Structure 1
Amino acid sequence: VLRLVNLICFFLFSILCYSQINEVDDKYREDQIYFGVFYNSLRNSPTDFNQNKFSSSINLGFIRDIPLNKSRNFGLGLGLGYSNSSFHNNLKFSNSNNQLDAKIISDLDSFTKNKWVLNELELPFEIRWRTSTPENYKFWRIYFGLKSSYIISSKLKYESPSNKQTIRDLPFNKFQYGFTLNAGNNTWNLGVYLGLKPLFDEEFSNNHINIKNIKQFKVGLIFYIL
């Protein structure tokens, strides 16, 4: 009887091990949902332009993982996401007689808030390399790509001791694009975005200051799941 019990246990253990081996997903995909927190800055800004407080972005979305090799550690990613960005600075917009104008506020103590807010739809494209395997969920990754985005809404929020103002639809280039680089290990990944297109519309005329060459630069942390 003992021999029979041992034989049955061995048989069941063999089936269990075989089942576990079969459960390994050799068609796995990685890093298809992303969430990022970034610090925003602006390049090619005019003289006396000053960024104050903390300007940030929150990004989230889905990227379809498309492995190109048998080991599935090299491939492409194509997705759709959303971004909310804020820029605190001393470049103020004003609207007079249906004419939008912009100027630098030299006295930084004269206002308490001057913030641009952007909401964008993102289309990220990535070339992906990583050290993942079907059994390993902690791996190194380097993802380089190009991200396009469309500004679906924008506004200025301005506050001073004597005035509050909100202006919508700022003269931004609606369509933006730039290079991205996301790299790290396991949970923690550094994310960088280098904007290639000027932030402001070339047709926006302003006699006070030249803002046509301002471009975005963002650096922060990005997290992937699933």
Structure 2
Amino acid sequence: MNAIRDALQGVRNHIISVAEACGRNPAEIQLLAVSKTFPADAIRDAWAAGQRAFGENYVQELASKCETLQDLPVEWHFIGPLQSNKTRIIAEHAHWIHSVDRLKIAERLSAQRPDNMPPLNVCLQVNISQEDSKSGVNVADVAPLAHAIARLPKLTLRGLMCIPAPCNDLAQQRAPFAALKQLLQQLQSEGLAVDTLSMGMSSDMPAAIQEGATIVRVGTAIFGARHYPGGAA
């Protein structure tokens, strides 16, 4: 627990320092602890250290952790790719989904969201680096999809998410984040009440904060190296 607590404090301090250095209010930036592949006990430790929002990439893992941790009012964010045959699980468990890139997925989430739950917060995943291997809506298709989703019941369109191509140069890291911010501003100018930029991970968080991130998704810097089935880390 102490290791996770100390790591969380280190990440929070880093967010504060980067935000203040570029003239932003650190309170505008939410830390999303990406807990995929880590056990529920690690989430309990992070919760005890004050963390409330957690991100999961795998549908069944999110459902299992929701069940195990139902005594804690965790804010669950689904941030991984979602197949249409698994939308019900997310509609019934998550508070946020960051990875919508098709109208069909949004329509199923809307139809399957229980009446007794608040609207599901939605971010569109944008393929901002135009990589063939990446999920996400093409930049040219963002506005039409955003307007269509904004009209669906039981969903609240909040903003945009991206996972840019890896890069170690700070200036080059900033470019795709700046492009995502411009897309959000375009949607705002078209009358959509969007306010969220989900961008930046352990390796590129400072660049994302400098370009206006409102949610940063950090896993490794909090929980350590991941270990996947089969031994891959």
The TM-score normalised by the length of structure 2 is 0.23
Report which of the two has the higher share of strand. 1
Larger Rg: 1
Report which of the two has the higher share of helix. 2
